[in-house]
Amino acid sequence: MKFSDRVAVVTGSASGIGKATAEALAGEGATVCIGDIAADKGEAVAAELRAKGRQAEYFPLDLTDRDSIAKFAAAVLKRFGRVDILVNGAGWGKTVPFVDSDDAFWEKVINLNFIGPMRLTKALLPQMFERKYGRVVSVSSDAGRVGSLGETVYSGAKAGLIGFSKGLAREGARYNVTVNVVCPGPTDTPLLAAVPEKYRDAFIKAIPMRRFGQPAEVAEAIVFFAGGNAGYITGQVLSVSGGLTMVG
């Protein structure tokens, strides 16, 4: 099992892509720290994994709250002593015209999708640098690569996460810490279910494979970047979108 000696943090792992990633990493032997604001669902995911003989534990996390992030990082490090893999998987957005959005909406989207992951990464990075090992994989979005109608602020936040990851990859390389990004296209998650039907229909027509992605398909790309076979890959952005975007 390729992650049997690794401790992994996966944010947003109470559902969707984060949950699929936690399941995949735990299935390969990793000890998985479930980080999510939804306590009941997070506890349930951890319990499901333990029932299968996996190693998993839930820790509360609100990525829009500085103190919550600090407490989460401290609790994980106290419990396990280290984090080998960080998956910044949590994300949130809402389809709304930019001119109809307000400051409160902007702040939530930017904090959850960009500033929160930066804060958590900073909290866990020093011990990776000290041990000269780490894998950071952030889940951005194709919206952050090419923009998305009705998701202007979300697109900006996710683009910021890509730029941050590329810069951090340069800083982390000398410490054997890789930093990569996975950009899902429209994926069958609770977040997509909240998108108006007319937008979902438009997505299907635009995707060459004519279907939405499944969380497990995105998780496979995340697990690749987190594993040993990607040890010489850093600062890269991989789209998992059924061909929706083909950016050089």
List, for residues 70-82, the tens digit of each pLDDT value. 999 999 999 999 9
pLDDT score of 208: 79
Which residue would you say has higher pLDDT here, 147 or 105?
Answer: 105
- Give the pLDDT band (50/70/90) at residue 244: confident
Contacts of 99 (CB under 8 A, 6+ apart): none
**pTM (predicted TM-score):** 0.93
- Give the pLDDT band (50/70/90) at residue 158: very high
45: amino acid identity, one letter: V
pLDDT score of 156: 97
**Quick one: tokens of 43?**
């506890």
pLDDT score of 246: 77
Distance from chain centroid for Cα 197: 25
Of the residues 154, 175, 199, 232, which is catalytic?
154
- Report the SS3 class of residue 56: strand
Contacts of 218 (CB under 8 A, 6+ apart): 17, 20, 21, 139, 182, 184, 187, 240
Average pLDDT over residues 12-23: 96
pLDDT score of 11: 98
Q: Is 154 a catalytic residue?
A: yes
pLDDT score of 247: 66
Q: Read off the DSSP letter of residue 99.
A: G
Q: Which of 29-33, 165-169, 196-200 has the lowest mean pLDDT?
A: 196-200
Determine the topology of domain 7-238 in CATH: Rossmann fold (3.40.50)
List, for residues 92-141, the tens digit of each pLDDT value. 988 899 999 999 999 999 999 999 999 999 999 999 999 999 999 999 99
210 vs 130: CA distance, rounded Å: 46
Average pLDDT over residues 24-41: 98
pLDDT score of 186: 81
Query: What residue segments make up the domains of the chain, in order of their start?
Result: 7-238
